[in-house]
Amino acid sequence: MKEKLELIKKDFADALNNVKLKEELEELRVSFLGKKGKITQVMKGMRDLAPEMRKEVGQVINLIKDQINKNIRDKSIELEKKAVEKKISNEWSDITWPVESAKGTIHPVSIIRMELEKLFISMGFEILDGPEMEDEYHNFTALNIPEDHPARDTQDTFWLKNGKLLRTHTSPIEIRGMEKRKPPFKFVAPGKTFRNESLDTSHEHTFHQIEGMVVDRGISVANLIFTLKSIVSSIFGKEVEIRLRPSFFPFVEPGFELDFRCQICGGKGCSVCKRTGWVEYLGCGMTHPNVLREGGIDPDEFQGFAFGGGIERLVMMKYGIDDIRHFHGGDIRFLKQF
Amino acid sequence: MKISLDWLNDYVDIEDIKAEELADRLTMKSAEVEEAHWVGAHFEQVVTARVDKVVPHPDSERLKLATVFDGKTTQTVVCGAPNVAEGQIVLFAPLGTILPGNFEIKVAKIRGVESCGMICAQDELGLGDDHDGIMVLNDDVEPGKKALELFGGKDFIIEIENKTINHRPDLWGHFGIAREVRTIFEKPWKKELKYTGIDVDSETEKFEIEITTEKCLHYLALKMENIKVGPSPKWLSTRLNNIGIRSINNIVDAANYIMLETGHPMHTFDRRDVAGNKIVIRNADENEVFVTLDEMERVLKSDDAVIADENRVLAIAGVMGGLNSEVKDDTKEIVIESALFAPTSVRRTANRLDLRTDASSRFEKALWVENCYLAMQRFVELVKELVPQAVVTSKLAVGDNSENYGFKGKIEITTDRIRSLLGIPEESLRDDKIVSVLEFLDFGIDNKNGILSVEVPDHRRSKDVSIGEDITEEIGRIYGYNNIEPVTPLFGMERAPVNVELEKTNQLRRMLAETFKAHEVMNYCFTGSGDLEKIPYDVEKLVETVDDREVPYLRYTMASLLLKDVHENLKNFRDFKLFEFGKVFSTESERARLAIISTGEGSDILEMKRIVETIARDLRIPDLRYERPSDDFLLGKVLLHPGRSAIFSSVKPKIGIFGEIHPSILKKFDINVPVSYIEIDLEELYGLPQKNVKFTPLFKFPSTDFDVTAIVPEKTEVAKLIGILKKAVDRKQFVECKVVGHFSGSPIPEGYMSISFRIVMNAKDRTLTGDEIKTNHEKTINAVRKAGFKISGDK
């Protein structure tokens, strides 16, 4: 009987070696361990053995059964592994195949505008909006711009037949903002503005500005400098040197022009900064008492500052765009770059 | 405006200040210096030299070899000038000289011969335009003299950005700039200009001034005799030349010089051309014709102010004099005008005539009355210096109309208020510093323990200083804004209100780009009559046209410019979507709109509906309803294909439109592929309430479904069929009805189509039995048949 078992063991080993497919493995198992399998047959013959022999042979049979089961399991894993390897070896993708992004694009002016909005919201500013078809009062008169100021001329302003005009700056939102608020407050207002200019690479009749205003008791030039410095640094994502130059805008007093260190040349002087090392960016200043009064705010009690600047200039600096006319061109070849 | 530092040095000693630093400090404290450069530096290097020998160039017919002696050494130069000759005294630029235009003289080999230096022509030295030959000096000039002994020394010229001094009439002349420099560097006056009076040498005439227009505020006239018109001396022509003014003759140059010194424009008439003794400043007659100094015929309007004698116009006030009375070479007697004209009037006239002169741009800035007197006095002084025998032969004739001009009062402000506005602590800005700055700038100060009563000087009263904040600016800029320590504003912790509309817009912007691969565009809000013909609409011309601009309308639909964008982009792309957030206008109002335009793959009406549904889902607005356009809402009837378009509504009617662009509109825009379009009124859309999101428990038991395929005539709305099916089944067990397929063509009879529906049902508390499903299925089939339609397989 022992010899018989040895023979079976050898038979199994040979048969296992010849197995190539997973289905054959099951057949092999049945042929040894199934109801009519070789081992089962041997076990049936055990009835004829003496009890002590039966125990001994039983143990041997169990060992062989375990061994067969284990071998079949191992073989199965091995075959599966081989099958996967074979499958993989024939599969290949061309990773150089060109594909397109599944996304459309947001206009570069909107991208920067949204970034600015996010920045100001994080600083606790409210974001306001105002009409593009504005009245003379909000666009000029309330902003302390005198009746005979050249800015009111048709050469600069798109006047409309209904007596209104297309706003020439976002500053009228200062007045609209003040009318509906009690200090302290701080808001910014990005938006489209219009000037009656002829087009060239750096002039547009339609462009975007962002206006900002902060009003509270005791607001000072020192506060303005602090705020604008942190805004400019946030825009560029690093500490950027700024400077204020005296300048004149009717709605602020004192008024300044804010320059920042040219980020193209680092201040050495290049064509972008006209070799000065500085880029003129914002008009700003302490809100003129007449303007506060028009907004219903007592200038003896409250002080404020305001600032306004173009958005296109930032976009052009950021992406190196050389012609402002692209922004209103509607050309996908331009738009899809952002 | 150009400023010469050499000239400034007449009034304030600036020899110890570096030119570049002065320019920089002016930018930071007074007015922007946009450009600065040295002129005449080469005059220290260029010398006089004698041409000792001229021989032909061995290898050129045109060139010559000249041997020159510069007082110390002898050099050979290759010279192309036709007029070079032996014995001439010329101007010689030795090696190393840098001529204007940053042109450095180096050893050069010209056709095989070494040239060491250059004999200069007039233009090469920046002395004029002449390039016909080299400059030849009188032969009594010795060789070896530095050119600066002949042409004046070097000078540093700064150019001030005019727009930064629009509000500062006092800075339009050297003396005003000198006042700033003196304040910035705390220097005493070297020479202060003050009006002290003009002596009459011998009165031969009396003039009368008559002002009949509010456009003239003040007018002074004075006569001088024994004038001798001739070239200006070197110092005068050099000064003018250095700041870009061409020297003409001593009298014209004197007027220009005084304007550039005091900022006040002067004008001189030839006495022979002024009839009588009365000068009248009046409004021009309508369409009066007048020839200005530049020999141009000008047609005047009654809005223009003119200077006239009893017969005719002599000058356009504040803009330009007339050819009829200009100073000529033989002029012996002159009448001098020093006047003040109303800024707005001068600006309007100059703009209308397109004649912006140095004079008009200064009058526009609002000069001051007192400056008329100072300028007149300085002019007389200068003419007497240039023409020693000249005499004043009339009293100063005065016409005044300036009673209500400029700020008259005093400004009361405390030093604490100044510090508070600037945000500077007292230890950094003491009261005495404040007072000292103002005094340097010629303000009169009465200081009572920090309470200041400030008297504004004449040159600041006419325009820019009238309130305490103006005084604060003077202190701030001289203190230096960049010396102010930044301080964070103190603010409460309240959250800033959120701009909900803006957030929605940004959300949709991202969604359209990300989900629908659309590109955002920005178009102008202007539209021309060409567009109006393409998309007819009853709209008024809204833009006041100044010239014949092509775009007198503001856009009334977003479609016209987007269709143009599509037309243009079709040259490079086939499948694309564009979207734009923008405004449309009418006489009464403006409306915010969102428009989406689509062509190529994925551009059918259902894709438009999908976008609209996604917008609704994104904004969580209540369910949308769709109907065919019945009126002109958003121009839907004009713009869109009548069979392939819809108006959609929600809990409020009419939010927007979508559909295919009408083929006849496409044709007008020269587009020959289908284009779909959506336009949404954002005020309506954003005005909708938000839907409450409420969780529905998931079914515990599996759902069951069955399909029904109906054969229906074409143009049968699927919603109608869904309604029939929905109604037919057990309402409590109904989950949804989906369209799973549709088909037309054989074997479906012509004019018909088949649509397959899948009805999903669930009993919520158990699995539905086969019988129940069967019953419901039969009910739906019967309902479809009852409605007059066939079921697939029916005969």
- Predicted local distance difference test score (pLDDT) of residue B548: 53
Regarding whether A275 and A185 lie in a shared domain, the answer is yes
- Predicted local distance difference test score (pLDDT) of residue A208: 96
Regarding whether B519 and B452 lie in a shared domain, the answer is no
Choose between B11 and B152: higher pLDDT: B11
Task: List pLDDT tens digits, range B691-705.
Answer: 988 998 899 999 999
A280/B34 Cα distance (integer angstroms): 12
Record: contact B469-A288, CB cut-off 8 A: yes
Is residue A324 situated within a structural domain? yes
Regarding whether B346 and B220 lie in a shared domain, the answer is yes
Record: contact B590-A132, CB cut-off 8 A: yes
- Predicted local distance difference test score (pLDDT) of residue B537: 82
Record: contact A127-B487, CB cut-off 8 A: no
Q: Which residue is it, tokens 């909006």?
A: A129
Is residue B665 situated within a structural domain? yes
Nearest CA in chain B to A285: B473
Choose the closest CB to A154 out of B343, B486, B544.
B544
Beta-carbon contacts of A113 under 8 Å, excluding residues fewer than 6 positions away, are A190, A208, A210, A311
Could you tell me the two tokens for B226?
């024994």
Regarding whether B590 and B607 lie in a shared domain, the answer is yes
In the 3-class helix/strand/coil scheme, how is A156-207 assigned residue by residue?
A: CCCEECCCCEECCCCCHHHHHHHHCCCCCEEEEEEEEEECCCCCECCECCEE
pLDDT at B58 over 80: yes
Total domains in chain B come to 6
Choose the closest CB to A330 out of B351, B489, B565.
B565
- Predicted local distance difference test score (pLDDT) of residue B118: 92
Record: contact A225-B486, CB cut-off 8 A: yes
Q: Is A233's Cβ below 8 Å from some Cβ in B?
A: no
3-state helix, strand, coil in chain A (%, to 5): 45, 20, 35
Record: contact A226-B488, CB cut-off 8 A: yes
Closest CA to B660 of B681, B643, B682: B643
Nearest CA in chain B to A254: B473
Choose the closest CB to B487 out of A106, A161, A223.
A223
- Predicted local distance difference test score (pLDDT) of residue B540: 75
Is residue A165 situated within a structural domain? yes
Record: contact A109-B522, CB cut-off 8 A: yes
Q: Structural domain of residue B12, as residue ranges?
A: 2-40+155-185
- Predicted local distance difference test score (pLDDT) of residue B456: 96
Alpha carbon of A52: minimum distance to chain B alpha carbons (Å): 59
Residues of B in contact with A148 (CB under 8 A): 343-344, 347
Regarding whether B760 and B722 lie in a shared domain, the answer is yes
Number of other CB atoms surrounding residue B200 within 10 Å: 14
Is residue A96 situated within a structural domain? no
Is residue B234 situated within a structural domain? yes
Alpha carbon of A321: minimum distance to chain B alpha carbons (Å): 16
Most confidently predicted of A7-16, B111-120, B306-315: B306-315
Regarding whether A70 and A112 lie in a shared domain, the answer is no
Choose between B347 and A56: higher pLDDT: B347
- Predicted local distance difference test score (pLDDT) of residue A199: 76
Is residue B32 situated within a structural domain? yes
Task: List pLDDT tens digits, range B736-788.
Answer: 999 999 999 988 999 999 999 999 999 888 999 999 999 999 999 999 999 99
Choose the closest CB to B485 out of A206, A222, A336.
A222
Beta-carbon contacts of A95 under 8 Å, excluding residues fewer than 6 positions away, are none
Nearest CA in chain A to B418: A220
Alpha carbon of B311: minimum distance to chain A alpha carbons (Å): 33
Is residue B462 situated within a structural domain? yes
CATH number at B636 reads: 3.30.930.10
Is residue A197 situated within a structural domain? yes
Record: contact A330-B523, CB cut-off 8 A: yes
- Predicted local distance difference test score (pLDDT) of residue A90: 86
A122 half-sphere exposure, CB direction, 13 A CA radius: 10
Regarding whether A227 and A167 lie in a shared domain, the answer is yes
Alpha carbon of B518: minimum distance to chain A alpha carbons (Å): 4
Alpha carbon of A266: minimum distance to chain B alpha carbons (Å): 18
**Would you place residue B187 in the very low, low, confident or very high pLDDT band (cuts 50, 70, 90)?**
very high
Record: contact A106-B501, CB cut-off 8 A: no
Is residue A191 situated within a structural domain? yes
Q: Is B452 helix (H, G, I), strand (E, B) or coil?
A: strand
Could you tell me the two tokens for B365?
């800035």
Record: contact A332-B164, CB cut-off 8 A: no
Q: What is the mean pLDDT of chain B?
A: 92
Segment holding B338, helix H or strand E: strand B334-341
B572/B570 Cα distance (integer angstroms): 5
Q: In sequence order, what DSSP letters do the residues of B382-432 get, joined into one string?
A: HHHHHSTT-EE-B--EEEE--TT-S--SEEEEEHHHHHHHHT--TTTS-HH
Residues of A in contact with B406 (CB under 8 A): none
Regarding whether B441 and B504 lie in a shared domain, the answer is no
- Predicted local distance difference test score (pLDDT) of residue B550: 59
Specify the amino acid at residue A117: E
Choose the closest CB to B590 out of A131, A216, A286.
A131
Regarding whether B537 and B448 lie in a shared domain, the answer is no
Q: Is A337's Cβ below 8 Å from some Cβ in B?
A: no
Residues of B in contact with A327 (CB under 8 A): 522
Among A38, A63, A90, the domain boundary falls at A90
Question: Residues of chain A whose pLDDT is less than 50?
Answer: none
**Would you place residue B273 in the very low, low, confident or very high pLDDT band (cuts 50, 70, 90)?**
very high
Record: contact A246-B473, CB cut-off 8 A: yes
Residues of B in contact with A155 (CB under 8 A): 351, 546
Q: In sequence order, what DSSP letters do the residues of B558-607 get, joined into one string?
A: SHHHHHHHHHHHTTT-SSEEEEEEEEEE-SS-EEEEEEEEEESTT-SHHH
Beginning with the edge strand found earlier in the chain, give each strand of the sheet holding A242-247 in spatial order. A126-127, A185-194, A206-216, A303-310, A278-287, A252-261, A242-247
Regarding whether A266 and A236 lie in a shared domain, the answer is yes
- Predicted local distance difference test score (pLDDT) of residue B657: 96
Task: List pLDDT tens digits, range B658-690.
Answer: 999 999 999 999 999 999 999 999 999 999 999
Alpha carbon of B151: minimum distance to chain A alpha carbons (Å): 31
What pTM, to 2 d.p., does this model score?
Answer: 0.84
Q: What number is the average pLDDT over the span B521-538?
A: 86
Regarding whether B213 and B279 lie in a shared domain, the answer is yes
Number of other CB atoms surrounding residue B678 within 10 Å: 25
**Would you place residue B275 in the very low, low, confident or very high pLDDT band (cuts 50, 70, 90)?**
very high
Record: contact B488-A129, CB cut-off 8 A: no
CATH number at B771 reads: 3.30.70.380
Record: contact A124-B491, CB cut-off 8 A: yes
Whether B119 and B133 have beta carbons less than 8 Å apart is answered as: no
In eight-state DSSP terms, residue B550 is S
Q: Structural domain of residue A51, as residue ranges?
A: 2-90
B541/A161 Cα distance (integer angstroms): 8
Regarding whether B28 and B97 lie in a shared domain, the answer is no
Total domains in chain A come to 2
Q: Is B260 helix (H, G, I), strand (E, B) or coil?
A: helix
Nearest CA in chain A to B425: A222
Choose between B568 and B463: higher pLDDT: B568
Regarding whether A153 and A7 lie in a shared domain, the answer is no
B68/B52 Cα distance (integer angstroms): 6
Specify the amino acid at residue B439: E
Regarding whether B132 and B82 lie in a shared domain, the answer is yes
Q: Is A328's Cβ below 8 Å from some Cβ in B?
A: yes
Q: Is A75's Cβ below 8 Å from some Cβ in B?
A: no
- Predicted local distance difference test score (pLDDT) of residue B764: 84
- Predicted local distance difference test score (pLDDT) of residue B750: 92
Record: contact B543-A289, CB cut-off 8 A: no
CATH number at A223 reads: 3.30.930.10
- Predicted local distance difference test score (pLDDT) of residue B549: 57
Regarding whether A127 and A42 lie in a shared domain, the answer is no
pLDDT at B613 over 70: yes
- Predicted local distance difference test score (pLDDT) of residue B546: 55
Q: Is A146's Cβ below 8 Å from some Cβ in B?
A: no
Alpha carbon of A169: minimum distance to chain B alpha carbons (Å): 16
Q: What number is the average pLDDT over the span B197-218?
A: 95
Residues of A in contact with B360 (CB under 8 A): none
- Predicted local distance difference test score (pLDDT) of residue B608: 96
Choose the closest CB to B469 out of A102, A124, A254.
A254
Regarding whether A120 and A79 lie in a shared domain, the answer is no
Record: contact A186-B583, CB cut-off 8 A: no
Choose the closest CB to B514 out of A103, A107, A150.
A103
- Predicted local distance difference test score (pLDDT) of residue A47: 79
pLDDT at B515 over 60: yes
Regarding whether B779 and B657 lie in a shared domain, the answer is no
B462/B369 Cα distance (integer angstroms): 9
In total, the C-beta contacts within 8 angstroms joining chain A to chain B are: 209
Regarding whether A216 and A80 lie in a shared domain, the answer is no
Regarding whether B746 and B710 lie in a shared domain, the answer is yes
